[in-house]
């Protein structure tokens, strides 16, 4: 059996779209990116809810911490399962399943009678968050034409930031009544939207072509590109199902396919960026912002107000990223972003290490969020939807997402202890060093993907990793 990995059309069968088709792509994207909203909402809601849960259930420090971090463990499991699910069930059904899981997790949280039940709810919600974060970039990437792919994919991060922000606001609204159950319950609305929306969005034509469902793929492509273009695309695609039996199909789209030599450069880029995104310290700022700010002398209540402000800035700068990502490209955004993060972290570290933490620390924190939100935040999620070839897109994205959640978990677990041991300022310097390393890595190894079809991206990756020719893997069976 020959050349499965080179089925060119299946990389992204929606190559160009007419004006109405473009609107349709955005509508599909908005529904799919609800997965991103739930990611932001369910990770953000706990910060406010916890204040009241701990009172109701008399939780000690460990129990409180576990309610926060167990979501990250659930997310790792979710991201891991999403790869296989996305390849087997298809993107649409996987997304629908995730919507249902969000609903179930929310119901358990709202009905929780004690700590243990709430812990279970957080694991279930975490599973949904992780699985959605792996599925959404792949699905969005496959539903959009190369010209607008960056913008459509950035919508994921935009909805993550909106989700975080809405969670903060919901927390503010219900904090007067101390109603943490209502805080969780609000998450049911987008979860229902995702579950129902998945019935409306068409299945990814790339997945359908890959599974021999050519007629359905043709109809979807025709609805945005016109029947003639759909015909051309379908005629140029390889009848994958005819060349591979079920078992070989599963093998060539499964986890171990990621270790094939030709896939390794993309895998290296995906996993490294996943780790850099978290070890650059973003969530210590997002989630510990009030604590950090109190150290600069602010009162608790103005610290919470400042964290809403951080959420707004995060969102606004992601809007800026949407405007830039298809114009200036991914690489430039990443380089500027990492450089900015490096500088602002170095400054933040300095203000803490020299105990002059003050307005300058706040300025550095805000500038750091801006630098992250305009580049590394969205572009990581854009790239993991773009750098893997179609047949391993689902597992590739899942692997990168799992490493992202694992790194998030490690950072949140050790951040406070490291800060206590070596000093807060010095900890920020550690993050700065990670950003400097990230800068070098991006400059050397990350290909530009803007307006490129997959073959070009693959060629660029090969060049950067010092490989001249693409060696096709031996076909299974
Ligand atoms: C990161 C999250 C982070 C969020 C903040 C995302 O890109 O993956 O860990 O909380 O950005 O906006």
Confidence label for 9 from pLDDT (cuts 50, 70 and 90): very low
Decide if pLDDT at 247 tops 90: no
Q: Which atom of ligand 1 is nearest to the CA of 43?
A: 10
Q: Which of 40, 68, 160 to mutate to test the pocket of ligand 1 (most atoms within 8 A of CB)?
A: 160
Q: Which atom of ligand 1 is nearest to the CA of 314?
A: 12
Q: What is the pLDDT of residues 22-51, one digit of tens each?
A: 999 999 999 999 999 999 999 989 888 888
Residue 421 phi, psi (nearest 5): -75, -50
Q: What is the pLDDT of residues 37-91, one digit of tens each?
A: 999 999 989 888 888 899 999 999 889 888 988 999 999 999 999 988 998 999 9
- Report whether residue 314 contacts ligand 1, using a CB cutoff of 6 Å: yes
- Report whether residue 377 contacts ligand 1, using a CB cutoff of 6 Å: yes
pLDDT of residue 301: 65
Fold annotation for 8-464: Growth Hormone; Chain: A; (1.20.1250)
Q: What is the Å distance from ligand 1's center to 43 Cα?
A: 10
Q: What is the Å distance from ligand 1's center to 476 Cα?
A: 38
Q: Which of 38, 75, 76, 157 to mutate to test the pocket of ligand 1 (most atoms within 8 A of CB)?
A: 157
User: In this structure, which residue's CA is closest to atom 3 in ligand 1?
Assistant: 283
Q: Which of 283, 365, 405 to mutate to test the pocket of ligand 1 (most atoms within 8 A of CB)?
A: 283
User: In this structure, which residue's CA is closest to atom 9 in ligand 1?
Assistant: 283
Domain residue ranges of the chain, discontinuous segments joined by +: 8-464
Q: Cα(69)–Cα(75) distance, rounded to whole angstroms?
A: 10
Q: Which of 132, 285, 286 to mutate to test the pocket of ligand 1 (most atoms within 8 A of CB)?
A: 286
- Report whether residue 286 contacts ligand 1, using a CB cutoff of 6 Å: yes
Q: What is the Å distance from ligand 1's center to 377 Cα?
A: 6
Q: Annotate the chain with three-state secondary structure.
A: CCCHHHCCHHHCCCCCCCHHHHHHHHHHHHHHCHHHHHHHHHHHHHHHHHHHHHHHHCCCHHHHHHHHHHHHHHHHHHHHHHHHHHHHHCHHHHHHHHHHHHHHHHHHHHHCCCHHHHHHHHHHHHHHHHHHHHHHHHHHHHHCCHHHHHHHHHHHHHHHHHHHHHHHHHHHHHHCCCCHHHHHHCCHHHHHHHHHHHHHCCCCHHHHHHCCCHHHHHHHHHHHHCHHHHHHHHHHCCCHHHHCCHHHHHHHHCHHHHHCHHHHHHHHHHHHHHHHHHHCCHHHHHHHHHHHHHHCCCCHHHHHHHHHHHHHHHHHHHHHHHHHHCCCCHHHHHHHHHHHHHHHHHHHHHHHHCCCCCHHHHHHHHHHHHHHHHCHHHHHHHHHCCCCCHHHHHHHHHHHHHHHHHHHHHHHHHHHHHHHHHCHHHHHHHHHHHHHHHHHHHHHHCCCCCCCCHHHHHHHHHHHCCCCCCCCCCCCC
Q: What is the pLDDT of residues 123-155, one digit of tens each?
A: 999 999 999 999 999 999 999 998 899 999 999
Query: Structure pTM?
Result: 0.88
Decide if pLDDT at 448 tops 80: yes
User: In this structure, which residue's CA is closest to atom 2 in ligand 1?
Assistant: 283
pLDDT of residue 194: 97
Return the structure tokens found at 208: 């359908």
């Amino acid at each position: 059996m020959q050349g499965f990995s080179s089925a060119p059309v299946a990389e992204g069968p929606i190559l160009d779209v007419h004006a109405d088709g473009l609107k349709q792509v955005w509508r599909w994207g908005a529904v799919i990116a609800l997965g991103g909203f739930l990611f932001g909402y369910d990770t953000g809601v706990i910060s406010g809810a916890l204040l009241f849960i701990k009172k109701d259930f008399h939780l000690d420090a460990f129990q409180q911490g576990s309610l926060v971090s167990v979501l990250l463990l659930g997310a790792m499991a979710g991201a891991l399962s999403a790869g296989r699910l996305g390849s087997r069930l298809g993107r649409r059904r996987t997304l629908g399943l995730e919507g249902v899981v969000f609903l179930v997790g929310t119901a358990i949280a709202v009905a929780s009678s004690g700590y243990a039940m709430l812990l279970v709810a957080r694991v279930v919600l975490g599973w949904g968050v992780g699985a959605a974060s792996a599925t959404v970039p792949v699905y969005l990437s496959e539903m959009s034409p190369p010209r607008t792919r960056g913008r459509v994919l950035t919508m994921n991060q935009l909805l993550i930031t909106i989700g975080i922000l809405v969670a903060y606001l919901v927390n503010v609204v219900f904090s007067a009544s101390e109603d943490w159950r209502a805080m969780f319950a609000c998450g049911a609305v987008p979860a229902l939207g995702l579950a129902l929306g998945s019935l409306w969005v068409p299945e990814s034509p790339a997945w359908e072509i890959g599974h021999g469902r050519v007629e359905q793929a043709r109809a979807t492509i025709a609805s945005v590109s016109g029947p003639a273009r759909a015909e051309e695309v379908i005629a140029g695609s390889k009848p994958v199902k005819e060349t591979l039996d079920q078992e070989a199909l599963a093998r060539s789209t499964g986890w171990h396919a990621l270790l094939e030599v030709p896939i390794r450069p993309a895998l290296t880029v995906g996993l490294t960026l996943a780790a850099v995104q978290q070890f650059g310290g973003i969530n210590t700022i997002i989630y510990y912002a009030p604590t950090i700010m109190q150290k600069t002398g602010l009162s608790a209540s103005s610290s919470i107000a400042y964290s809403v402000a951080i959420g707004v800035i995060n969102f606004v700068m992601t809007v800026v990223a949407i405007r830039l990502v298809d114009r200036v490209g991914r690489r430039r955004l990443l380089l500027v972003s990492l450089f900015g993060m490096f500088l602002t972290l170095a400054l933040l570290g300095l203000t803490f290490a020299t105990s002059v933490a003050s307005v300058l620390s706040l300025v550095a924190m805000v500038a750091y969020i801006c630098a992250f939100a305009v580049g590394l935040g969205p572009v990581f999620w854009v790239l993991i939807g773009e750098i893997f070839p179609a047949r391993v897109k689902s597992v590739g994205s899942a692997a990168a997402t799992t490493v992202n959640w694992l790194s998030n978990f490690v950072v949140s677990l050790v951040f406070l202890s490291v800060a206590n041991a070596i000093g807060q300022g010095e900890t920020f310097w550690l993050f700065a060093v990670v950003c400097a390393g990230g800068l070098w890595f991006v400059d050397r190894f990350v290909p530009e993907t803007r307006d490129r079809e997959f073959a070009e991206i693959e060629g660029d990756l090969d060049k950067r990793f010092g490989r001249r020719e693409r060696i096709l893997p031996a076909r299974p069976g």
